[in-house]
Amino acid sequence: MRVALALVHHPVRDRLGDVVASAVTNLDVHDIARSCRTYDLARYYIVSPIEAQWRVVERIVEHWTEGAGRVRVPQRGEALSRVELAPSLAKAQSRAAELFGATPRLLATGAKPAPETPLCSYDEARALLAEDAPLLLVFGTGHGLAASAVAQCGGSLPPIRPHSYNHLSVRAAVAITLDRLFGDGCVDDPMGPC
C-alpha cells in the first residue's frame, strides 16, 4: 500500500486565523505513529521548518527505536520507526514520491470543508487505494491547515462532523480517518445495525 501521512505544523492557522507554526507535541508523535503502524501506512511525516522542534522529535524517536524504550516497549519503536521529519509539505511529498516511485496525490483534511480543493469522498479515496494510487493524507495542527497548504492538495476528504461541534484532537481525527479508509467497516452488532 502506497499511503503516507503528513502532520503539518506550518503553515497552519491559529485561533484568530493567522498563519503560524505550531509546536510539536509528544502525544502527536506517539499516537499518530501508532495509528499509522496499525493501518500499515508507509511513513508518517512531521512537517515543521523549526529545527528546534526537529530535535524534540529526534529525541523521542531515538528513545523508542534505539534507546531504553526499545527494550521496554518494542511495539512503540516499531511504530516510531516510520516517523520522518520534513521542513515543508512539498518536501514531504517529494520524499513520499521517492519512497513510492510516483508522486502521491495529496488529500487535505480539516474540521471544516475546504472549498479551495475538490471534495474527495471516502468511497473515491478507497477506489484510489484499490488502484494502488500513491496518497499522502495531510492533517493540520493548530486550528487547521492554512489556505496555502490546502492549495497544494489535489483534493480534500470530508470533515468528520461537518454540521455540528467538531473540535477533535488531531490524534483522534487521524484515527477516525484511517479507520474510515482502511477499517473493516460495520461489524455485526448485537445492539442492531450500524
Number of domains in the chain: 1
- Structural domain including 69 reads 3-182
* Backbone phi and psi for residue 147, each to the nearest 5 degrees, phi listed first: -55, -35
Whole-number mean pLDDT of the chain? Answer: 92
Q: Is residue 189 part of a domain?
A: no
The alpha carbons of the chain give a radius of gyration, in whole angstroms, of 16
* CATH code for the domain in which residue 29 is found: 3.40.1280.10
Please name the residues in contact with 138: beta carbons below 8 A apart, sequence gap of 6 or more.
5, 6, 8, 89, 106, 107, 108, 109, 145, 149, 152, 153
Q: Is residue 154 part of a domain?
A: yes
Beta-carbon count within 10 A of 173 CB = 19
Query: Is residue 131 predicted with pLDDT exceeding 50?
Result: yes
Distances (CA, A) of 174 to 52, 62, 115, 143: 25, 23, 21, 15
Q: Is residue 192 part of a domain?
A: no
Q: Is residue 149 part of a domain?
A: yes
Length of the chain as a residue count: 194
Q: Which three cell numbers stand for residue 101?
A: 516511485
Cis before 11 (ω within 30): yes
Q: Is residue 121 part of a domain?
A: yes
Q: Is residue 176 part of a domain?
A: yes
Q: Are 155 and 120 in contact (CB under 8 A)?
A: yes
- Summarised one tens digit per residue, pLDDT across range 63-82 is 999 999 999 999 999 999 99
Query: Is residue 188 predicted with pLDDT exceeding 80?
Result: no
pTM, to two decimals? 0.93
- Summarised one tens digit per residue, pLDDT across range 147-180 is 999 999 999 999 998 677 878 999 999 999 999 9
* Backbone phi and psi for residue 117, each to the nearest 5 degrees, phi listed first: -130, 155
Predicted confidence band at 116 (pLDDT cuts at 50, 70, 90)?
confident
